[in-house]
Structure 1
Amino acid sequence: MARASSKTPRGTSSPDPMPERVDPCLAMLVDKPPKGPDWAFEVKWDGYRLAVHVEPDRVRVITRGGYDWTSRFPSIAAEARQLGYETLILDGEAVVLDDEGRSDFGMLQRALGKRPSLHDRREIIFFAFDLLYVDGWDLRRLPLRERRWLLDPIVAGLAGAIRLSEEVQADGDEFFRVACAHGLEGIIAKHVEKPYRSGRGEWWQKITCKRRDSFVIVGFEPSTVPGHLGRLLLAARKDRDLVYVGGCGTGWSNELSRELRKLLEGMVTKAPAVALRRKGAVFVKPLLVADVEYRAWTDDWKLRHASFKGIREREDDSTVFALLRNDSQGAEER
């Protein structure tokens, strides 16, 4: 069993009741990292946000929405009991790492799924990045730098189901560049002098590594608003064929929505360019290419958080996103 830390919270006088649940602090999305000595950075993990509650007679693993998912994370719950504290609340993210050490949401979903999978729940890791309560002391009133000072001896050096999400004191722009170059989802910036505040605010900021590529438009879904576009259906190249990779339903104004709908209605075909059955879909001739900004790929090669950025004619396939023959190997262009 791990030893309890000799560190004690500062500025406290009497024991505090343990919260039944703490609404999590959520990061605000910004375009670029903040600057200044009061900011520290962490990797943005792509998983499930969890709070681990160690209580005298039980351990609870609580989701961001307040659901008790202890049974889904038995390894995390078991290791939390061995940390050496009677009461404790850790804030962090549950992930599954790929061979390159990157968090993969698809792998996490498979590990938690009911169907047989190459991944199981023993692969799930909880990266702790904040300490909210410990042995009678509510730490949320303390600045982040003190909460991290208390967190480090509890989980630093652990290499099992619970680990420390490392904090980096670095130039934000450079850390962000390196994170994106390594295929990470992005970074989180946290103000080290701020207390823990539930809800979304500027004291925690997230900067995501966005990707932008071109995809062939193979159809659309009408909007519930007459004459408007609901969603574009997109495809990528795979050998000589087109493969459906999902769609996007944001990124255009009301005026552009009507123009795109009218343009695509002039290209309707009864012979879809991709093998896809989708109720309400209208298929079009694959003559146009959409420039799309997106976050990442799902496990089954569908776009995540795609947003429309522009349209052009399909003069050739040189700039259209291409998939390798073997999906497990990844894609040619990222």
Structure 2
Amino acid sequence: MAKASSKKPRRDTAPIDPMPARIDPCLATLVARPPKGPDWAYEVKWDGYRLAVHIEPGRVRVLTRGGYDWTERFPTIVDDARRLAVTTAILDGEAVVLGDRGRSDFGMLQRALGRLPSAIEAGAIVFYAFDLIYLDGRDLRRLPLRERRRLLEPLVAGREGAIRLSEEVQADGDEFFRVACAHGLEGIIAKHVEKPYRSGRGEWWQKITCKRRDSFVVVGFEPSTVPGHLGRLLLAARKDCELVYVGGCGTGWSNELSRELRKLLERMATKSPAVVLRRKGAVFTEPLLVAEVEYRAWTDDGKLRHASFKGIRKREDEASVFDMASLRV
């Protein structure tokens, strides 16, 4: 296969629009079923970290959903971004690690980023770009999605490096969702192709999940009856700028990971709980970590049902922590 030229095409370098230092991401609203109609396109719902890749002359920045600069954590994405045929750009997408069956695996991503012991290298992380919101001096947010995708695809389609295209599917939404769940995917995203890019949560992007999955603050744990192991994580969500207890989870980890988590949490033990909770035998911790949790539903009193642990990370990107106000969805 012929090697692609790294020479960037000439474009007018005078910016029409100043490049934003940061853009709040467009967020999908959770719905029960995919929307219908020719104005909707579908994508796989990736199981990773939402990122914005800012490409500028002389530097590349990688920002999280909450605005944290994680450039140093994604060296292969940064290196590949420098090879794109652009002068300035902002790519919106998701960083993932693909498992043996080609599915994104959040636990593997956590280990690649170095939070827990791992043989997975950071170079295994792939950024799937699904939107282009700034390109060579032009702010694209006012354009409809179909136009933004038309500009994005020539930049990243067909690439096999760290930056790739998140494929858009024109299909029956119900059938695509059925197939996604049958293949063990987290779910799908539906996007209205005629809408501009709008920061925040709205109806123009919708997510349909095979199982519910969200991020919760770890506020403590219950020891296992097996010495040195973890019995149950105690979890909290945001409510009116405070943390409230929403129950816990006691499954989803291996014996090895159970010991690792127990040691990690013991170093964060505190006598001042972050939530109002009395629980015999519980060890409360500083609210410094966030757990990814899969669950089936909520109880009437606001507790998680059938919760299972999927991954853990530092509580740096506060924007991803579950907000109880969204239970109205």
Taking structure 2 as the reference length, what is the TM-score of the superposition? 0.65
Q: What SS does the corresponding residue of 2:131 show, helix, strand or coil? A: strand
- Show the counterpart of 2:207: 206
- Show the counterpart of 2:96: 95
Q: What SS does the corresponding residue of 1:175 show, helix, strand or coil? A: helix
Contact 1:248 1:306 in 2 (8 A): no
Whole-Å separation in 2 of the counterparts to 1:94 and 1:88: 17
Q: What SS does the corresponding residue of 2:79 show, helix, strand or coil? A: helix
- Show the counterpart of 1:170: 171
Q: Within 5 Å, which residues of 2 pair with 1:128-207?
A: 128-207=129-208
Letter in 2 for 1:201: G
Whole-Å separation in 2 of the counterparts to 1:5 and 1:45: 31
- Show the counterpart of 1:307: 297
Q: CA deviation at 1:305?
A: 3.8
Q: What SS does the corresponding residue of 1:53 show, helix, strand or coil? A: strand
Whole-Å separation in 1 of the counterparts to 2:210 and 2:117: 32
Whole-Å separation in 2 of the counterparts to 1:161 and 1:155: 10
Q: Within 5 Å, which residues of 2 pair with 1:145-294?
A: 145-210=146-211, 281-282=279-280
Whole-Å separation in 1 of the counterparts to 2:79 and 2:185: 29
Q: CA deviation at 1:113?
A: 1.4
Q: CA deviation at 1:245?
A: 6.6
Q: In the superposition, relative to structure 1, how do residues 163 and 177 fare at CA in structure 2: closer, same or farther (>3 Å)?
A: same
Q: In the superposition, relative to structure 1, how do residues 87 and 173 fare at CA in structure 2: closer, same or farther (>3 Å)?
A: same
- Show the counterpart of 2:42: 41
Of structures 1 and 2, the larger Rg is shown by: 1
Q: In the superposition, relative to structure 1, how do residues 113 and 137 fare at CA in structure 2: closer, same or farther (>3 Å)?
A: same
Aligned residues: 248
Whole-Å separation in 1 of the counterparts to 2:74 and 2:34: 33
Taking structure 1 as the reference length, what is the TM-score of the superposition? 0.64
Q: What SS does the corresponding residue of 1:60 show, helix, strand or coil? A: strand
Whole-Å separation in 1 of the counterparts to 2:78 and 2:191: 27
Contact 1:249 1:308 in 2 (8 A): no
Q: CA deviation at 1:307?
A: 3.3
Contact 2:15 2:136 in 1 (8 A): no
C-alpha RMSD of the superposition: 3.9
Q: CA deviation at 1:2?
A: 4.5
Q: What SS does the corresponding residue of 1:184 show, helix, strand or coil? A: coil
Q: What SS does the corresponding residue of 2:202 show, helix, strand or coil? A: strand
Whole-Å separation in 1 of the counterparts to 2:123 and 2:56: 23
Q: CA deviation at 1:90?
A: 0.4
Whole-Å separation in 2 of the counterparts to 1:246 and 1:202: 33
Whole-Å separation in 2 of the counterparts to 1:125 and 1:140: 24
Whole-Å separation in 1 of the counterparts to 2:293 and 2:69: 30
Runs of 4 or more consecutive aligned structure 1 residues displaced over 3 Å after TM superposition: 1-6, 243-250, 275-283, 305-310
Structure 2 alignment gaps of length 5 or more: 213-219, 225-229, 238-258, 272-277, 282-290, 301-305, 308-329
Q: CA deviation at 1:304?
A: 2.4
Whole-Å separation in 2 of the counterparts to 1:204 and 1:114: 31
Q: CA deviation at 1:86?
A: 1.1
Whole-Å separation in 2 of the counterparts to 1:245 and 1:176: 32
Whole-Å separation in 2 of the counterparts to 1:52 and 1:152: 16
